[in-house]
């Protein structure tokens, strides 16, 4: 069943709003066992919630879809969004389906695949010469001046409600074997807040007995929320960001306080990882689980390995990692690493040679 229809009673939508939702657009994403990866990390078990399977390839489809339905039910057909890429492509996708217009502000340097999605979905795109933060303020001002519906996470509470469905699904999927830890990447802080909210509602409804501890991960080059957590402070200092993980490269996070509160309330932690650790663990994740996550979406795996080394996550702990988006969106950034491909002529002779096999007698 469509996830928004399944959880309609827990979502702030007016009665008719769901009638507009295209059937099959947003289905629950799978929770996948990854035993080899659990071994590599040194934890009791690891399950991956693969958000890369959403319609446009990231968890942002949850928030964009709810926002589009909300906009429609309030009679608005022009939607605006500033994004590092995934929020934009998800908004453009659902707008394409519903016949709405998506006005998109993305920073220079957005990965090609995400721009290609915007092209294919026919969005109205402005590439801002500046950072995501610049794009954010510009979008907010433009939405105000031109009367567009603003799909930005600081100004729009519907987004957390949409992303919350990830936590609601997860609670039901792991009810028979609740996780001790849930790891997830943190940029603006909406996602981690929303996952916490969804899980908390499911604790209240008796679906899971208690809240798992939440491990929020930021890249070292964009870590204002993690730094505030480590200083045990609510003071979130803006940063000039530098990280290859575009989807979580946020220097002025819009949901920092709620994110800090969510992680603290769960008894969890916020940690940082280097880009190198993130990229190397994303490769290990792919090789040991068959799940190819984008760099930011694999940050939590790198974070888990550090948390295990530090004794924060125990060797028997049951862990769920939320892989927030598909690696096909930033595949261009992969360096041909240790695996060397071999060329062959279309003959068995050439193939035997390449594989070092003898010719049959």
**Helices marked H in the chain — which ranges?**
3-6, 35-41, 60-73, 86-98, 112-120, 132-146, 158-173, 190-204, 224-230, 256-265, 275-289, 295-309, 348-355
Of 304, 247, 268, which Cα lies nearest the Cα of 196?
A: 268
Of 99, 88, 71, 84, which Cα lies nearest the Cα of 125?
A: 88
Distance in angstroms (rounded) separating the CA atoms of residues 336 and 296: 19
Q: Assess contact for 65 and 25: CB atoms under 8 A.
A: yes
Interaction of residue 186 with ligand PLP, rule CB under 6 A: yes
Dmax (CA) for the chain in angstroms is 79
Interaction of residue 247 with ligand PLP, rule CB under 6 A: yes
Q: Which two tokens stand for residue 106?
A: 């993305």
Q: Which two tokens stand for residue 209?
A: 């007995």
Give 18 or 257: the residue with its C-beta nearer to ligand PLP: 257
- The distance of closest approach from Cβ of residue 162 to ligand PLP in the complex, given in angstroms and rounded to an integer, is 11
Distance of CA 182 to the CA centre of its chain: 13
Binding part of the chain for ligand PLP, among 12-20, 173-181, 184-192, 331-339 by CB under 6 A, reads: 184-192
Instruction: Measure CA of the first residue to CA of the last residue in the chain; give whole Å.
Output: 58
Q: How many residues in the shown chain lie near ligand PLP by CB under 6 A?
A: 18
- The distance of closest approach from Cβ of residue 44 to ligand PLP in the complex, given in angstroms and rounded to an integer, is 25
Distance in angstroms (rounded) separating the CA atoms of residues 139 and 202: 35
Give 215 or 342: the residue with its C-beta nearer to ligand PLP: 215
- The distance of closest approach from Cβ of residue 60 to ligand PLP in the complex, given in angstroms and rounded to an integer, is 5
- The distance of closest approach from Cβ of residue 276 to ligand PLP in the complex, given in angstroms and rounded to an integer, is 18
- The distance of closest approach from Cβ of residue 185 to ligand PLP in the complex, given in angstroms and rounded to an integer, is 4
Give 190 or 320: the residue with its C-beta nearer to ligand PLP: 190
- The distance of closest approach from Cβ of residue 34 to ligand PLP in the complex, given in angstroms and rounded to an integer, is 18
Binding part of the chain for ligand PLP, among 102-110, 144-152, 167-175, 183-191 by CB under 6 A, reads: 183-191
- The distance of closest approach from Cβ of residue 332 to ligand PLP in the complex, given in angstroms and rounded to an integer, is 16
- Identified binder of ligand PLP from the candidate list 55, 167, 189, 212, rule CB under 6 A: 189
Give 26 or 190: the residue with its C-beta nearer to ligand PLP: 190
* Site map 283..302 versus ligand PLP, x via CB under 6 A: -----------x-xx-----
- Identified binder of ligand PLP from the candidate list 29, 45, 56, 58, rule CB under 6 A: 58
Distance in angstroms (rounded) separating the CA atoms of residues 20 and 2: 13
**DSSP codes, 148-163:** -EE--TTT-THHHHHH
Binding part of the chain for ligand PLP, among 40-48, 139-147, 181-189, 262-270 by CB under 6 A, reads: 181-189
Residues making contact with ligand PLP (CB under 6 A) = 58, 60, 86, 185-192, 247-248, 294, 296-297, 324-325
């Amino acid at each position: 069943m469509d996830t928004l229809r399944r959880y309609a009673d827990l979502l702030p939508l007016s009665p008719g709003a769901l009638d507009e939702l295209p059937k099959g657009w947003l289905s629950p994403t799978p929770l996948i066992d990854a035993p080899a990866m659990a071994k590599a990390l040194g934890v009791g078990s690891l399950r991956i919630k693969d958000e890369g399977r959403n319609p446009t390839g990231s968890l942002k489809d949850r928030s964009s879809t709810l926002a589009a339905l909300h906009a429609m039910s309030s009679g608005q057909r022009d939607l605006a969004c500033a994004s590092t890429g995934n929020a934009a492509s998800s908004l453009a996708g659902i707008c394409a389906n519903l016949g709405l217009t998506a006005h998109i502000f993305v920073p220079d340097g957005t990965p090609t695949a995400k721009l290609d999605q915007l092209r294919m979905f026919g969005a109205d795109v402005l590439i801002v010469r500046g950072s995501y933060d610049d794009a954010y303020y510009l979008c907010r001002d433009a939405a105000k001046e031109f009367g567009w519906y603003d799909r930005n996470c600081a100004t729009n509470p519907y987004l957390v409600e949409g992303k919350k469905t990830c936590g609601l699904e997860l609670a039901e999927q792991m009810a028979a074997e609740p996780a001790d830890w849930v790891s997830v990447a943190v940029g603006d802080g909406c996602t981690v807040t929303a996952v916490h909210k969804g899980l908390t509602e499911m604790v209240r409804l008796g679906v899971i007995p208690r809240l798992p501890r939440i491990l929020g991960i930021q890249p070292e080059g964009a870590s204002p929320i993690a730094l505030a957590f480590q200083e045990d402070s609510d003071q979130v200092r803006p940063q000039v960001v530098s990280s290859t993980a575009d989807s979580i490269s946020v220097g002025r996070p819009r949901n920092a306080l709620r994110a800090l509160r969510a992680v603290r309330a769960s008894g969890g932690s916020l940690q940082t990882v280097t880009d190198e650790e993130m990229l190397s663990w994303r490769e290990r994740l792919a090789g040991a689980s068959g799940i190819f996550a984008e760099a930011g979406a694999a940050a939590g795996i790198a974070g888990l390995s550090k948390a295990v080394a530090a004794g924060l996550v125990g060797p028997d702990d049951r862990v769920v990692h939320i892989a927030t988006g598909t690696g096909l969106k930033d595949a261009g950034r992969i360096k041909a690493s240790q695996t060397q491909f071999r060329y062959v002529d279309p003959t068995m002779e050439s193939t035997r040679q390449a594989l070092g096999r003898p010719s049959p007698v």
